Amino acid sequence: MVNINPTLLVVLVMGYFAALAYFENNYCKRAFISNDEYLSSLAMVRRCSVYDLFRCSGVDWRFSNSKIETDFNDYLKNGQIPNYVVNYVKQNIRPEDVKSLRRISRLW
């Protein structure tokens, strides 16, 4: 039988998790951030719905409620995010916030 020192086992486990965190951090720095991730991350940071973000971005551009409703319904059906919403979201959230939320969501 092999008798492994418990201290060595603990050090190996800690080394494994340190290496895992290092590689995960490097991956997140280089990873592409999609518009959907920006949108959902801002909704999580503000603790509001995606619909609320559509409304806020539409108000900034002075769009009518019917246009905002139509664009939101198109987003729900096709997944297409209008340019005015993408611009609003990218102006109001930092990429670091998106990457940290992405890291947290992978743990769940």
How big is the CA angle at 16 (ends 10 and 22), to the nearest 5 degrees? 135
DSSP for 56-87, written as a single string: HHHHHTT--HHHHHHHHHHHHHH-PPPHHHHH
Q: Is the pTM of this model over 0.75?
A: no
Distance, CA of 89 to chain centre: 12
pLDDT for 30-87, tens place per residue? 667 788 888 988 888 889 999 999 999 999 889 999 999 999 999 999 999 999 999 9
Ranges of each domain in the chain = 33-107
